[in-house]
A = this chain, B = another copy of it.
Protein backbone atom coordinates (compact mmCIF):
# COMPACT_ATOMS: atom_id res chain seq x y z
CA UNK A 1 0.00 0.00 0.00
CA UNK A 2 1.12 3.53 -0.71
CA UNK A 3 0.47 6.05 2.08
CA UNK A 4 0.94 9.83 2.03
CA UNK A 5 1.58 11.78 5.22
CA UNK A 6 1.02 15.52 4.96
CA UNK A 7 2.81 17.12 7.89
CA UNK A 8 5.56 15.06 9.51
CA UNK A 9 5.63 16.29 13.09
CA UNK A 10 5.25 14.01 16.10
CA UNK A 11 1.94 12.51 14.98
CA UNK A 12 2.57 12.48 11.23
CA UNK A 13 6.08 11.08 11.72
CA UNK A 14 4.74 8.38 14.01
CA UNK A 15 2.08 7.47 11.43
CA UNK A 16 4.87 7.10 8.85
CA UNK A 17 6.94 4.89 11.14
CA UNK A 18 3.93 2.72 12.03
CA UNK A 19 2.73 2.47 8.41
CA UNK A 20 6.16 1.32 7.25
CA UNK A 21 6.97 -1.01 10.14
CA UNK A 22 3.54 -2.41 10.92
CA UNK A 23 1.62 -2.25 7.66
CA UNK A 24 4.44 -2.71 5.17
CA UNK A 25 3.40 0.50 3.44
CA UNK A 26 5.51 2.73 1.25
CA UNK A 27 5.26 6.23 2.73
CA UNK A 28 5.61 9.53 0.93
CA UNK A 29 5.87 12.64 3.10
CA UNK A 30 5.21 16.32 2.59
CA UNK A 31 5.77 19.21 4.97
CA UNK A 32 5.95 22.99 4.56
CA UNK A 33 9.13 22.79 6.69
CA UNK A 34 11.99 21.19 4.69
CA UNK A 35 13.96 20.50 7.90
CA UNK A 36 11.10 18.41 9.30
CA UNK A 37 10.99 16.43 6.04
CA UNK A 38 14.73 15.76 6.19
CA UNK A 39 14.42 14.59 9.81
CA UNK A 40 11.51 12.31 8.90
CA UNK A 41 13.51 10.82 6.04
CA UNK A 42 16.60 10.33 8.20
CA UNK A 43 14.58 8.59 10.93
CA UNK A 44 12.84 6.30 8.47
CA UNK A 45 9.40 7.81 9.02
CA UNK A 46 9.01 8.25 5.25
CA UNK A 47 10.48 6.52 2.22
CA UNK A 48 10.56 9.66 0.11
CA UNK A 49 9.77 13.34 0.31
CA UNK A 50 7.47 15.19 -2.04
CA UNK A 51 7.81 18.85 -3.10
CA UNK A 52 4.06 19.47 -2.85
CA UNK A 53 0.77 17.87 -1.85
CA UNK A 54 -0.17 16.90 -5.42
CA UNK A 55 3.04 14.87 -5.79
CA UNK A 56 2.72 13.37 -2.32
CA UNK A 57 -0.78 12.00 -2.83
CA UNK A 58 -0.26 10.81 -6.42
CA UNK A 59 -0.86 7.06 -6.45
CA UNK A 60 -1.60 6.90 -2.71
CA UNK A 61 -4.30 4.57 -1.36
CA UNK A 62 -4.44 6.39 1.98
CA UNK A 63 -3.61 9.97 2.97
CA UNK A 64 -3.17 11.31 6.51
CA UNK A 65 -3.35 15.07 6.92
CA UNK A 66 -1.32 15.79 10.07
CA UNK A 67 -0.68 19.51 9.72
CA UNK A 68 -1.24 21.94 12.63
CA UNK A 69 -4.92 22.55 13.33
CA UNK A 70 -4.97 25.95 11.67
CA UNK A 71 -3.69 24.50 8.38
CA UNK A 72 -5.59 21.22 8.53
CA UNK A 73 -8.71 22.18 6.58
CA UNK A 74 -6.72 23.53 3.63
CA UNK A 75 -4.44 20.48 3.69
CA UNK A 76 -7.43 18.13 3.52
CA UNK A 77 -9.01 20.18 0.71
CA UNK A 78 -5.75 20.06 -1.27
CA UNK A 79 -5.41 16.32 -0.68
CA UNK A 80 -8.98 15.65 -1.86
CA UNK A 81 -8.35 17.82 -4.94
CA UNK A 82 -5.34 15.77 -6.00
CA UNK A 83 -6.00 12.26 -4.68
CA UNK A 84 -7.40 9.58 -6.98
CA UNK A 85 -10.87 8.06 -6.64
CA UNK A 86 -9.56 4.95 -4.81
CA UNK A 87 -7.90 6.83 -1.96
CA UNK A 88 -9.11 7.41 1.60
CA UNK A 89 -8.23 10.83 3.01
CA UNK A 90 -8.15 11.26 6.77
CA UNK A 91 -6.75 13.68 9.32
CA UNK A 92 -5.63 13.62 12.95
CA UNK A 93 -7.45 16.54 14.55
CA UNK A 94 -11.02 16.30 13.56
CA UNK A 95 -12.45 18.17 16.53
CA UNK A 96 -11.28 21.38 15.10
CA UNK A 97 -11.26 20.29 11.51
CA UNK A 98 -14.87 20.67 10.48
CA UNK A 99 -14.77 24.03 12.20
CA UNK A 100 -11.24 24.96 11.42
CA UNK A 101 -11.90 28.30 9.79
CA UNK A 102 -13.45 29.53 12.99
CA UNK A 103 -10.28 31.15 14.27
CA UNK A 104 -9.26 32.69 10.99
CA UNK A 105 -12.61 34.49 11.16
CA UNK A 106 -11.47 35.81 14.54
CA UNK A 107 -14.95 35.29 15.88
CA UNK A 108 -15.29 31.66 16.81
CA UNK A 109 -18.08 31.44 14.29
CA UNK A 110 -18.50 28.19 12.42
CA UNK A 111 -17.71 28.08 8.74
CA UNK A 112 -18.84 24.86 7.20
CA UNK A 113 -16.29 23.28 4.92
CA UNK A 114 -18.11 20.32 3.59
CA UNK A 115 -15.55 17.56 3.54
CA UNK A 116 -18.26 15.21 4.62
CA UNK A 117 -19.98 15.13 1.27
CA UNK A 118 -16.80 13.63 -0.23
CA UNK A 119 -17.06 9.82 0.00
CA UNK A 120 -13.25 9.57 0.30
CA UNK A 121 -13.00 11.64 3.49
CA UNK A 122 -13.10 10.12 7.00
CA UNK A 123 -12.33 12.47 9.91
CA UNK A 124 -9.88 10.88 12.34
CA UNK A 125 -8.57 11.66 15.81
CA UNK A 126 -5.99 9.50 17.59
CA UNK A 127 -5.96 10.09 21.35
CA UNK A 128 -2.21 9.98 21.56
CA UNK A 129 0.46 12.53 22.26
CA UNK A 130 3.74 12.92 24.00
CA UNK A 131 5.74 15.38 26.06
CA UNK A 132 7.61 16.60 23.03
CA UNK A 133 6.52 17.69 19.59
CA UNK A 134 8.38 17.43 16.31
CA UNK A 135 9.45 14.72 13.87
CA UNK A 136 12.54 13.95 15.96
CA UNK A 137 10.30 12.52 18.68
CA UNK A 138 8.14 10.36 16.40
CA UNK A 139 7.68 6.79 17.61
CA UNK A 140 6.50 3.70 15.82
CA UNK A 141 4.48 2.69 18.91
CA UNK A 142 2.88 6.06 19.64
CA UNK A 143 -0.60 4.68 18.90
CA UNK A 144 -0.22 1.36 20.69
CA UNK A 145 -3.44 0.82 22.65
CA UNK A 146 -4.68 4.35 21.93
CA UNK A 147 -8.28 5.08 21.02
CA UNK A 148 -8.49 6.46 17.47
CA UNK A 149 -11.84 8.06 16.71
CA UNK A 150 -13.15 7.81 13.15
CA UNK A 151 -16.03 9.99 12.06
CA UNK A 152 -18.08 7.95 9.67
CA UNK A 153 -20.69 9.84 7.71
CA UNK A 154 -23.52 8.36 5.63
CA UNK A 155 -21.73 9.55 2.48
CA UNK A 156 -18.46 7.75 3.34
CA UNK A 157 -17.43 4.97 0.94
CA UNK A 158 -17.60 1.75 3.02
CA UNK A 159 -14.59 0.11 1.34
CA UNK A 160 -12.39 3.17 1.89
CA UNK A 161 -13.55 3.41 5.51
CA UNK A 162 -12.62 -0.27 5.99
CA UNK A 163 -9.18 0.30 4.51
CA UNK A 164 -8.51 3.13 6.95
CA UNK A 165 -9.90 1.16 9.90
CA UNK A 166 -7.68 -1.84 9.09
CA UNK A 167 -4.61 0.37 8.74
CA UNK A 168 -5.19 2.01 12.09
CA UNK A 169 -5.67 -1.35 13.72
CA UNK A 170 -2.30 -2.41 12.37
CA UNK A 171 -0.80 0.70 14.02
CA UNK A 172 -1.83 -0.93 17.32
CA UNK A 173 -4.66 1.55 17.97
CA UNK A 174 -8.35 0.93 18.62
CA UNK A 175 -10.40 2.49 15.80
CA UNK A 176 -13.76 3.67 17.10
CA UNK A 177 -16.61 4.95 14.93
CA UNK A 178 -18.28 8.05 16.31
CA UNK A 179 -20.45 10.85 14.98
CA UNK A 180 -19.05 14.37 14.85
CA UNK A 181 -21.23 15.97 17.53
CA UNK A 182 -20.68 13.18 20.05
CA UNK A 183 -16.97 13.38 19.32
CA UNK A 184 -16.86 17.12 19.96
CA UNK A 185 -18.80 16.80 23.24
CA UNK A 186 -16.52 13.98 24.43
CA UNK A 187 -13.41 15.94 23.48
CA UNK A 188 -14.66 18.89 25.53
CA UNK A 189 -14.71 16.53 28.55
CA UNK A 190 -11.64 14.37 28.00
CA UNK A 191 -9.26 16.86 26.44
CA UNK A 192 -10.35 20.50 26.29
CA UNK A 193 -11.59 20.88 29.87
CA UNK A 194 -8.45 19.11 31.22
CA UNK A 195 -6.36 21.68 29.33
CA UNK A 196 -8.46 24.55 30.72
CA UNK A 197 -8.15 23.23 34.29
CA UNK A 198 -4.40 22.70 33.87
CA UNK A 199 -4.13 26.37 32.92
CA UNK A 200 -6.29 27.41 35.89
CA UNK A 201 -4.22 25.32 38.31
CA UNK A 202 -0.90 26.59 37.01
CA UNK A 203 -2.02 30.23 37.21
CA UNK A 204 -3.50 29.94 40.70
CA UNK A 205 -0.53 28.02 42.12
CA UNK A 206 2.01 30.46 40.67
CA UNK A 207 -0.05 33.34 42.08
CA UNK A 208 -0.17 31.64 45.49
CA UNK A 209 3.62 31.35 45.62
CA UNK A 210 3.95 35.01 44.62
CA UNK A 211 1.42 36.11 47.22
CA UNK A 212 3.25 34.16 49.96
CA UNK A 213 6.58 35.51 48.65
CA UNK A 214 7.77 31.95 48.41
CA UNK A 215 9.87 30.33 45.73
CA UNK A 216 7.60 28.52 43.27
CA UNK A 217 7.74 24.75 43.18
CA UNK A 218 5.44 21.84 42.42
CA UNK A 219 5.06 18.46 44.08
CA UNK A 220 4.11 15.38 42.07
CA UNK A 221 0.34 15.90 41.99
CA UNK A 222 0.60 19.50 40.77
CA UNK A 223 3.34 18.62 38.25
CA UNK A 224 1.09 16.03 36.65
CA UNK A 225 -1.95 18.29 36.82
CA UNK A 226 -0.22 21.12 34.95
CA UNK A 227 1.70 19.01 32.42
CA UNK A 228 -0.40 20.38 29.53
CA UNK A 229 -0.79 23.92 30.91
CA UNK A 230 0.04 26.60 28.37
CA UNK A 231 0.14 24.19 25.45
CA UNK A 232 0.83 25.73 22.03
CA UNK A 233 -1.17 28.96 22.14
CA UNK A 234 -2.01 29.19 18.42
CA UNK A 235 -3.26 25.59 18.26
CA UNK A 236 -5.23 25.70 21.49
CA UNK A 237 -6.86 29.06 20.93
CA UNK A 238 -8.20 27.54 17.68
CA UNK A 239 -9.38 24.40 19.45
CA UNK A 240 -11.07 26.23 22.34
CA UNK A 241 -12.97 28.49 19.93
CA UNK A 242 -13.81 25.71 17.48
CA UNK A 243 -15.47 23.65 20.20
CA UNK A 244 -16.66 26.46 22.40
CA UNK A 245 -20.29 25.44 22.93
CA UNK A 246 -19.36 22.01 24.24
CA UNK A 247 -16.46 23.46 26.23
CA UNK A 248 -18.69 26.06 27.90
CA UNK A 249 -21.08 23.28 28.90
CA UNK A 250 -18.17 21.29 30.37
CA UNK A 251 -16.92 24.35 32.28
CA UNK A 252 -20.42 24.91 33.69
CA UNK A 253 -20.56 21.27 34.76
CA UNK A 254 -17.16 21.54 36.48
CA UNK A 255 -18.23 24.77 38.20
CA UNK A 256 -21.35 23.04 39.59
CA UNK A 257 -19.24 20.16 40.87
CA UNK A 258 -16.86 22.60 42.59
CA UNK A 259 -19.83 24.31 44.24
CA UNK A 260 -20.97 20.92 45.60
CA UNK A 261 -17.56 20.19 47.14
CA UNK A 262 -17.45 23.69 48.56
CA UNK A 263 -20.82 23.19 50.23
CA UNK A 264 -19.66 19.90 51.78
CA UNK A 265 -16.54 21.66 53.10
CA UNK A 266 -18.57 24.55 54.55
CA UNK A 267 -20.85 22.02 56.29
CA UNK A 268 -17.85 19.97 57.51
CA UNK A 269 -19.71 17.05 55.99
CA UNK A 270 -17.16 14.22 56.10
CA UNK A 271 -19.70 11.68 54.82
CA UNK A 272 -20.47 13.71 51.70
CA UNK A 273 -16.76 14.28 51.00
CA UNK A 274 -16.02 10.57 51.42
CA UNK A 275 -18.88 9.57 49.08
CA UNK A 276 -17.73 12.16 46.53
CA UNK A 277 -14.16 10.86 46.68
CA UNK A 278 -15.29 7.25 46.33
CA UNK A 279 -17.31 8.09 43.25
CA UNK A 280 -14.30 9.89 41.74
CA UNK A 281 -12.30 6.75 42.46
CA UNK A 282 -14.82 4.63 40.57
CA UNK A 283 -14.85 7.12 37.69
CA UNK A 284 -11.05 7.06 37.51
CA UNK A 285 -11.10 3.28 37.40
CA UNK A 286 -13.64 3.26 34.57
CA UNK A 287 -11.69 5.86 32.56
CA UNK A 288 -8.34 4.17 32.97
CA UNK A 289 -9.74 0.67 32.49
CA UNK A 290 -8.74 -0.38 35.98
CA UNK A 291 -10.50 -2.93 38.07
CA UNK A 292 -11.44 -2.01 41.60
CA UNK A 293 -9.01 -3.35 44.21
CA UNK A 294 -9.69 -6.96 45.12
CA UNK A 295 -9.26 -6.13 48.77
CA UNK A 296 -10.85 -2.86 49.79
CA UNK A 297 -8.16 -0.67 51.29
CA UNK A 298 -5.30 -2.71 49.83
CA UNK A 299 -2.64 -0.01 49.79
CA UNK A 300 -0.97 -1.39 46.66
CA UNK A 301 -4.16 -0.55 44.80
CA UNK A 302 -4.50 2.99 46.00
CA UNK A 303 -4.03 5.77 43.50
CA UNK A 304 -1.13 8.06 44.12
CA UNK A 305 -1.21 11.08 46.34
CA UNK A 306 1.32 13.42 47.80
CA UNK A 307 -0.34 14.08 51.13
**Which residue numbers of A lie inside 8 Å of B, CB to CB?**
9, 69, 93, 95-96, 103, 106-109, 127-134, 136-137, 146-147, 176, 178, 182, 185-186, 188-191, 193-209, 212, 214-237, 239-241, 244, 247-248, 250-255, 257-259, 261-262, 265-266, 268, 270, 273-274, 276-289, 299-300, 302-307
Contact = CB atoms under 8 A, between A and B. Distances in A.
Nearest to A262: B251
Contacts of A134: 299-300
Contacts of A262: 248, 251-252
A286 B262 CA distance: 28
Contacts of A216: 286-287, 289
B221 A270 contact: no
B193 A201 contact: yes
B147 A284 contact: no
B235 A228 contact: no
Given A219-B127, A307-B93, A268 B283 contact: no
Q: Which residue of A209, A219, A255 has the most chain B CB atoms within 10 A of its CB atom?
A: A219
A248 B267 CA distance: 12
Contacts of A201: 193-194, 197, 254
Nearest to A182: B212
Contacts of A9: 299
A185 to B, nearest CB: 6
Contacts of A284: 202, 226, 229-230
B186 A274 contact: no
Contacts of A195: 221, 305
B274 A233 contact: yes
A127 B220 contact: yes
Contacts of A223: 287-288
